[in-house]
Structure 1
Amino acid sequence: MVIRAVLWDIDDTIFDHTTADRIGTRKHLEQHGLPDGYENVEQALVAWRELSDAHWVRFAAGETDFRGQRRERVREFLSRALDDAEADDWFARHAAHYEAAWSLFPDVLPVLDLLAEGFRHAVLSNASIQNQDPKLRRLGVRDRFEAVVCAVELGVSKPDAGAFHAACEVLALEPGEVAYVGNEPDIDAGGAVAAGLMGIWLDRAGLGGRPELVRISGLDQLPGLLGPVRP
């Protein structure tokens, strides 16, 4: 079956979330001080990333809601029993620094330009439309995607096949006509393949392995995988 559309992940695929998060967290800690229990800023940055990943897994599994995982992240990071308003305030101040550091990966616009006329484009994210739509607008690429589909509103998240199929339905295409590009081998590429899409693992870190997956190390390699442009 011919590939007619590309579904994109956002964070750490087209948007450099990891770098922005490190910069934002570092600036937040410089302004508000290092919490008790951390010997240095680097240790705190590692802990924040690990907590972010762990609580996102809980959210994806339906164990908490989107705002709840943020609050629990902050409480665990600070080792303090904050009420919801206090946790929300801390996260909002962190988010201001994080958002100031937002940027696209340098290979994103060139490949979107190259593929613009030959393929349709949409987004499937495990976050919320309230977060991802403004993010894409601020990054200047929202108009590159005809739809932004998010797990919070769907009620199902990647790697569940239902999330991928919902995005395909929005495009009115069969799964076999859609490629999915994401930075997570299991959640993104593996989930897409299991749902009948062409799953592509964007391995920017060059981790390698996973021979069962289609893997690229940069988006410049994507056009060669999608095949000829068809009307």
Structure 2
Amino acid sequence: MSFPVHAITLDLDDTIWPIAPAIVGAEAALEAWMAENAPRAARMWPASERQRLRELANRERPRLAHDMTAQRRWMIERMLVLADEDVALAEAAYDAYFAARCDVTHYPDSVDALERLAARVPLAAVSNGNACLDTIGLMHLFQFQLGAREHGAAKPDTSIFHAACERLGLPREQVLHVGDDPYMDVIGARQAGLRACWINRADEHDRFPPWPDARPRPDLEFPTLAALADWLDATHSEESIRP
């Protein structure tokens, strides 16, 4: 399939890098920081109890479900207060967590593919997560980063896709959204009027997950970002590469 692509919006977590190792590392960094600086909280809130607190945050603060930074800060403050620790430690504790959360390991194809894509069309990040492209070192490849926290609503809400298109200055049908999640990325983008590409990477057993339901499939499906870059090169070869 070939159609005009004048810009690409990209999901981040599990599209450019796997999120699970980063979250494991961030939780470990928070636990180590607490053990050194707030030992009562560290003893009171092992990993299993932190998960319970996360579920409590989701129940008690549903209006901020799109804001992972606010939710995490609230959790850390509760951990400190309930352990009779100094709540002023919350900022430093969050910084330790967030630094590790942004210490991601890219999929092997990601950076080279992003460079190839960015050479052809503008790229913008549209993510429900709170990773920082400046910290990670990829911001130079993107026009902007639009997160659910800054926008005020998360994918698959159509408004976040529309906001990205407005910032790009392009009609929705000329923008391709790329992501790993069938519902948040593909169905959300299509409902918002964008083209959609599903990055369907193989699992640990080298199997490719099937499309989950009977709703219309994405416009494109590739196992890697490199394959998407190959498609863009092949179908837009007559177009000059951006300066």
> In which range does the TM-score fall when normalised by the shorter chain?
0.7 to 0.9
Matched residues in 2 for 1:97 and 1:116: separation? 27
1:94 is matched with which residue? 97
Contact 2:29 2:96 in 1 (8 A): no
Which letter does structure 2 place at the counterpart of 1:208? P
| Structure 2, unpaired ranges of 5+ | none
Q: Map of 1:125-144 to 2, 5 A cutoff? A: 125-127=127-129, 132=131, 135-144=132-141
Alpha-carbon distance between aligned partners in 1 of 2:230 and 2:49, rounded to the nearest angstrom: 36
Aligned to 1:13: 15
Scaled by the length of structure 1, the TM-score of the pair is 0.73
Q: By how many angstroms is 1:158 displaced?
A: 1.5
Describe the superposition over 1:108-152 as per-residue Cα deviations: whole angstroms up to 9, x where unpaired: 11212322332221112235xxx65xx322333212112222333
Cα distance, 1:173 vs structure 2: 1.2
Q: CA deviation at 1:197?
A: 1.1
Question: Which residue, out of 27, 31, 37, partners 1:25?
Answer: 27
Q: Which residue of 2 aligns with 1:41?
A: none
Q: Residue type matched to 2:128 in 1?
A: N
Unaligned runs of 5+ in 1: 39-43
Name the CA shift for 1:51/1:111 in 2 (closer, same or farther; >3 Å): same
Kindly tell me: are residues 108 and 63 of structure 1, through their superposed partners in 2, closer, same or farther at Cα, counting changes over 3 Å? closer
Q: 1:23 to 1:2 in 2, by over 3 A?
A: same
Q: Give the match for residue 108 of structure 1.
A: 110
CA spacing shift, 1:14–1:45, aligned 2, 3 Å: farther
Answer with 1 or 2: which has the greater Rg. Answer: 2
Root mean square deviation of aligned Cα: 3.6
The 1-side partners of 2:171 and 2:13 are apart by 25
1:3 partner letter:
V
| Mapped contact 1:25–1:45 kept (Cα < 8 A) | no
Aligned to 1:149: 146
Equivalence map 1:1-231=2 (5 Å): 1-30=3-32, 32=35, 35-36=43-44, 38=46, 44=47, 48=51, 51=54, 55=58, 62=64, 67-74=69-76, 80=82, 85-99=88-102, 101-127=103-129, 132=131, 135-204=132-201, 206=203, 208-210=209-211, 212-213=217-218, 214-226=220-232, 228-229=235-236, 230=239
Query: Aligned partners of 1:62, 1:23: CA distance in 2, in Å?
Result: 24
Normalised to the residue count of structure 2, the TM-score between the two structures is 0.70
Q: How far apart are residue 65 of structure 1 and its match?
A: 5.2
